[in-house]
Amino acid sequence: MGLLTGKTALITGAARGIGKGIALKFAAEGANIAFTDLEENKETEMEIAALGVKAKSYASNAADFAQTEEVVNKVHEEFGSIDILVNNAGITKDGLMMRMTEQQWDAVIAVNLKSAFNFIHAVTPIMMRQKSGSIINMASVVGVHGNAGQSNYAASKAGLIALAKSIGQELGSRGVRANAIAPGFIETAMTAQLSEEIREEWKKKIPLRRGGTVEDIANVATFLASDLSSYVTGQVIQVDGGMNM
């Protein structure tokens, strides 16, 4: 009997990386998994289903309000409930403010922040009727502390933190919790592209002297998704090895 047995999780942007890691961990704990990405991903779907749970991939542009409503309705119809929502979809378009284009700003805000609004808006009536639910926004330490050259990304991630706190206040009386996770330097395919020199400089700034793993994030997400955190809402948990104490 896993921590999430009998629950259905909806995870955005979960075809790869941190989102996929969370999906696999949730499935290992017994949750049925519905996940979205820009295209259906049958390979990841089969990988999750192999853990003995129901899994289904949905093609959806998370930044599109109408598409999101449609997908959430399909998931609810096909799975019967939506107990956990993980807003993980995200992109980066880095640049210094003086060189940043309007398109770079708008794209990051739309995918990272508006998508979370879209999905929370769509699942709220479902979770309110259930009188239970856990919403998890994947933020970032730069959403807490900022970062030069990432004003669009940092603003979107700060928005996700404030959004979780606000939803936690709105829906707490209906048994729905909302929290945010703020990862630090995580070892992913994206960070693997950085030079060894840059990676080592990063690690020197981290008290635990290593980059985080996808599993480190997935473990905290599992805690927030499960009944172990039944009295935790409106919080942001930094998973960064102590980088930003």
The token pair at 174 is 């209906």
- To the nearest 10°, the Cα dihedral for 189, 135, 226, 217? 20
CA 151 to chain centre: 20
d(CA 15, CA 64): 18
Q: Greatest CA separation found in the chain?
A: 54
Q: Choosing from 153, 159, 185, 238, which is the catalytic residue? A: 153
Nearest 5°: the CA angle 11, 15, 16 is 110
Which residue bears the tokens 């927030």? 224
> Residue 137: is it exposed, middle or buried by C-beta count within 10 angstroms (0-12/13-18/19+)?
buried
The token pair at 244 is 């930003």
CB neighbours of 197 closer than 8 A, spacing ≥ 6? none
The reply to whether 153 belongs to the active site is yes
Question: 175 — alpha (psi -120 to 50), left (phi > 0) or beta?
Answer: left
Report, as residue numbers or ranges, the catalytic residues: 153
